[in-house]
């Protein structure tokens, strides 16, 4: 008999969800060489991410809590990659 497993959610933590929303909205991007998240300092992208969090927070999370997590994650992300030595990264 063929047994199937329930798929795990792609994002397991609230922080992971927030990183995904910020990246989809264009508020952050990855250093291509090292993979660190970098803040793009784009107020329109942040506003879009907040709208997404307000409209579709993760299951069981209040919209205000989802927005607070977005802001916490964005506050923890710098605008430069900590591993890059030059400004081109």
* Residue extents of the structural domains in the chain: 14-76
Residue 79: count other Cβ atoms within 10 Å of its Cβ: 9
Is the pTM above the cut of 0.85? no
Rounded to 5 degrees, what are φ and ψ at 28? -135, 165
Query: Roughly what angle, to the nearest 10 degrees, separates helices 63-76 and 43-55?
Result: 150
In DSSP notation, 38-75 reads EE---HHHHHHHHHHHHHSPPTT--HHHHHHHHHHHHH
Q: What is the pLDDT of residues 2-44, one digit of tens each?
A: 556 555 555 689 999 999 999 999 999 988 888 888 999 999 9
In DSSP notation, 24-41 reads HHTSEEE-TTT--EEE--
What is the pLDDT at residue 32? 86
Alpha carbon distance 7, 36 (integer Å) = 27
What is the pLDDT at residue 5? 58
For the cut 70, the answer to whether the pLDDT of residue 70 exceeds it is: yes
Q: What is the pLDDT of residues 37-63, one digit of tens each?
A: 899 999 999 999 999 999 999 999 999
């Amino acid at each position: 008999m063929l047994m199937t497993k329930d798929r795990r959610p792609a994002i397991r933590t609230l922080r992971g969800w927030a990183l995904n929303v910020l990246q989809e909205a264009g508020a952050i991007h990855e250093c291509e060489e090292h993979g660190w998240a970098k803040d793009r300092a784009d107020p329109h992208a942040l506003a879009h991410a907040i709208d997404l969090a307000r409209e579709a927070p993760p299951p069981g999370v209040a919209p205000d809590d989802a927005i607070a997590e977005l802001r916490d994650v964005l506050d923890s992300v710098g605008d430069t990659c900590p591993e890059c030595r030059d400004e081109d990264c």
